Amino acid sequence: MISRFPVVDISPTTYFGGEFVPAKAIPHEAITVGATIIREGHEGFEANVLLIDASGKVRARNPMRLIWPGSDRYEGVATPTDLGHWSFAIDVRDEKGIHSTSEKFPIYAETPRALIGSWYEFFPRSEGAVKKSDGSIISGNFLTAKESLKRVADMGFDILYLPPIHPIGLSFRKGKNNSTTAQPGEPGVPWGIGSADGGHDAINPELGTLKDFQEFVAAAKKLNIEIALDLALQCSPDHPWAKSHQEWFTKRADGTIAYAENPPKKYQDIYPINFDNDYKGLLNEVLRIIRFWISQGIKAFRVDNPHTKPVHFWQECIATINKENPEVIFLAEAFTRPAMMHALGKAGFQQSYTYFTWRVTKQELVDYGTEVSKQTSGFFRPNFWVNTPDILPLHLQSGNPAIFAQRAVLASTMTPSWGMYAGYELYEHVPSKEGGEEYLDSEKYEIKVRDWAGAAKAGATLAPFITKLNAIRKAHPALQRLRNLEFHPTDSEMIIAYSKREGNDLILVVVNLDPTKAHETTVHWNLYFLGLDSPAFEVTDLLDGKNYSWQQDTFVRLDPTRPVGRVAHVCQVKIK
């Protein structure tokens, strides 16, 4: 039934699976609540957002404002203060005391790690690996990789994601550059999980023992690094499940288990899981595996190809784990269609990989940044990765250091979570073929021996710049929020400008999107978005410490080609 003052088009609300799923939040994160509010005649009214705790008590009443004359569209904020379940409602009343209150809509405030993180990825077998004089390679392991943790921590990364650390199958093992036949001594693809040494709850013997892994995790925690493990629900033909639970796989007419295919690609070394024959048995086994790794100190899981599994499976799995361990987060590696990516977020995934990797032009970045920060932020948290072992985007293939710096600035300042795969800081950029987006000599198929110390000594590394970006992120609350991203007009299609504000922390970012030459323009700062009264203000560039006097219309010039190139300004406004 229509209420006395109709309140419609309420956001953020997400109806999914026959219910309203909670809007995503963390404690002290302001959520913009919007609604269209209608009343007859010309009399005024006041509207407020009610923040309600799990017991049903109203904990805050925040005013809503008309966002544009004649629009009937109002906005206010709800800011949960603690972890757990909350809800919001909209209360409308006039001077005579006539009022209406909308129904309640859920909010779930999760661990801050669900929103905020600087992710780094490396293969333990490559860290500390040694190339012998005869060309053979001695694999790294958890003990040698432990020595690399300081390098990761020194760059300011606080989550280290490891590709699968489990035994790798021998049957149909892939070789160098995805060749269908592995040569003797080739290590195989970590995603071909399972051998006589065990499955998803076992450690690849070439990496060490469970005790070695425990020591690795403990050493990471001392450096304030969380270890994220890969949850890849697939098996090699040698996985124990292939013998003990053949009902968990799809069989061909001849009774053999079907391997994975993504035409024209064939993955003879991988058996995909079939969830239809024994759903409950599979769910219980996956829960057992996740609980085992949680018992080893793991609080983050990067989930491989979740879009190839039933969405309701993830909803049940994540809800079960988070009820027991609310501090655990799941990152969806779902480079797929938008509807499926969004469905996984609605089903419970705390974060997701995104299309940022392929958004290059100013308009693409503005459109996508607006989408993830405003339109989908109630149910979808983006993690902007600049590269992955699977993806070497075309714009990096020039090897120009400026494009690596530019993309790192964009990823690390547009969203509160971003990620980088090892080798990015060394400007690795050679594709497997012209027009392709895969690395030549991909680390998925072989062990990489990198000379980190030599690159640092020669100055051939982006690591100092990455370190500065992560330090800026850590020091500024504005960069630890998603919904506060606002874009500002510039007179050049090669220069993008945006702001982020949290309380008195106001950050302005201007980036030259052309890594090959200088561009100059005027940025037209929207003072309303900045929350400033004066058209003139002082800023400090956090990248080099220089001070500038800026104004509502600010001229900027960014030249990435100079010996000390400048691809961006990342400035803090001095709030009086």
**Token pair listed for 195:** 């051998």
What one-character DSSP code corresponds to residue 249? B
Are 206 and 141 in contact by the 8 Å Cβ rule? The answer is yes
CA distances 128 to 42, 135, 205, 449, 521, Å, are 74, 16, 16, 8, 46
Beta strands in 449-489 (DSSP E): 486-488
**Token pair listed for 90:** 């909209």
Which residue type, as a one-letter code, is found at position 470? N
| Distance (Å, whole) CA 479 – CA 501 | 8
Nearest partner of 73 among 108, 115, 38, 104, judged by Cα: 38
For every residue of 206-231, DSSP letters joined together read GG--HHHHHHHHHHHHHTT-EEEEEE
Q: Is 212 a catalytic residue?
A: no
Phi, psi (deg, nearest 5) at residue 218: -65, -40
Q: Is 304 a catalytic residue?
A: yes
| Distance (Å, whole) CA 285 – CA 241 | 11
**Which listed residue (226, 230, 238, 304) is catalytic?**
304
What is the enclosing helix (H) or strand (E) of 290? helix 279-295
| Distance (Å, whole) CA 141 – CA 78 | 47
Are 443 and 518 in contact by the 8 Å Cβ rule? The answer is no
CA atoms within 13 A on the CB side of 299: 19
What one-character DSSP code corresponds to residue 356? G
Helix (H, G, I), strand (E, B) or coil at 6: coil
Phi, psi (deg, nearest 5) at residue 513: -85, 0
Sheet holding 568-573, edge to edge: 486-488, 495-502, 505-512, 568-573, 536-541, 547-551
Angle between helices 401-414 and 362-370 (to 10 degrees): 20
| Distance (Å, whole) CA 197 – CA 188 | 15
Strands 234-235 and 271-272: antiparallel
Gyration radius of the chain over CA positions: 25
Burial (CB count within 10 angstroms: exposed 0-12, middle 13-18, buried 19+), residue 454 = exposed
Are 502 and 530 in contact by the 8 Å Cβ rule? The answer is no
Q: How many CB atoms lie within 10 A of CB 187?
A: 21
**Which listed residue (226, 333, 428, 443) is catalytic?**
333
Query: Which residues does the annotation mark as catalytic?
Result: 304, 333
